[in-house]
Homo-oligomer: A and B are copies of this chain.
Amino acid sequence: MSYVNDAAQAVSKVRELSPLVHCITNYVTVNDCANAVLAIGASPIMADDIDEVEDITSIASALVINIGTLNRRTIDSAIWAGKKANELDIPVVFDPVGAGASGLRNETTKKILEEIKVSVIRGNLSELSFIAGLSSSTKGVDSSDADLDKDPVAVASAVANLYGCTAALTGKDDVITDGSRCVKLSNGTAMLSSVTGSGCLTSALLGAYIGAVGDGFIASCGAILTTSIAGEQAYERAASLGTGSFHMALIDYISLMNEETMLKYAKAEVIK
């Protein structure tokens, strides 16, 4: 399984290179994002003031833009940081949290995609359906039942083709495609939905992976397998204790993730 092999080698690469990841992200899950980036062996820097985002992006190996608690101030910062990243060929990961849920999120999502060339868009079926221009019914920031009958492969492919990027659609199964390659990943546990931030931290991890390996498709495989396999291991240890223990164990197993673990547990189906 060549994609999984490459993703597993990427874990070692992240730990070896320890890329600096600039995150412009929400204040709900920012601590988990920073700890996840550290747990996989990279180095996070959170900075969102327009007067410094260009400086910070310039010294980073990747930029992650997450609109979970967007506001006028941070939207402008994200745009500026993204343009600087494009100028310097620094990869940009975009997490369109709640796209479809409010006019502001919709406009911001469109604006970011118009003004910035992104390497990876990671979102759930609602968010990527909105981006694909398909009708989307969003209930808050989580996937809604109405999206469940849409085909994740079709949605992810549409997004990848429209924006010339990797689309990483996470859900019960995860679909990752850059147009030419496509894989379905089937790790994870429903308990990941019972703590806030598993999506956000996957996007932050994606910044670490793409900062180390460059390839957005392999980076997406690595980041998503990290969260979902660590989620399975956390479930084993902590499910009966409750969601607080699960949350902590999730970070634990991200910090223990390595090539061997990823190769041993990854469930992948290559579509093309």
Contact, CB under 8 Å: B70 / A104: no
Residues of B within 8 A of A199 (CB): none
Residues of B within 8 A of A44 (CB): 140, 196
Does A52 sit at the interface, judged by CB under 8 A?
yes
Does A251 sit at the interface, judged by CB under 8 A?
yes
Q: A254-265 toward B: CB 8 Å interface, digit per residue (1/0)?
A: 111000000000
Does A135 sit at the interface, judged by CB under 8 A?
no
When chains A and B are docked, how far (Å) is the Cα of A249 from the Cα of B72? 37
Q: A133-149 toward B: CB 8 Å interface, digit per residue (1/0)?
A: 00000011110000000
Contact, CB under 8 Å: B196 / A38: yes
Contact, CB under 8 Å: B34 / A31: no
Contact of A35 among B59, B69, B142, B195 (CB under 8 A): B195
Which A1-49 residues have a C-beta within 8 angstroms of B? 20, 26-32, 34-35, 38-39, 43-49
When chains A and B are docked, how far (Å) is the Cα of A29 from the Cα of B102? 24
Number of interface residues of A (CB under 8 A): 61
User: Which residue of B is nearest A23, CB measured?
Assistant: B28
Residues of B within 8 A of A190 (CB): none
Contact of A255 among B31, B60, B104, B194 (CB under 8 A): B194
Residues of B within 8 A of A29 (CB): 31, 34
Which A215-232 residues have a C-beta within 8 angstroms of B? none
When chains A and B are docked, how far (Å) is the Cα of A190 from the Cα of B39? 13
Binding site for B on A (CB under 8 A): 20, 26-32, 34-35, 38-39, 43-49, 51-52, 55-56, 59-60, 68-73, 98, 101-105, 139-142, 193-197, 241-245, 247-256
Known: A29-B34, A71-B73. 17 other contacts (CB 8 A): A20-B140, A27-B27, A27-B30, A31-B31, A31-B32, A35-B244, A44-B140, A45-B141, A47-B98, A48-B71, A49-B72, A56-B140, A59-B140, A242-B251, A243-B252, A244-B248, A244-B251
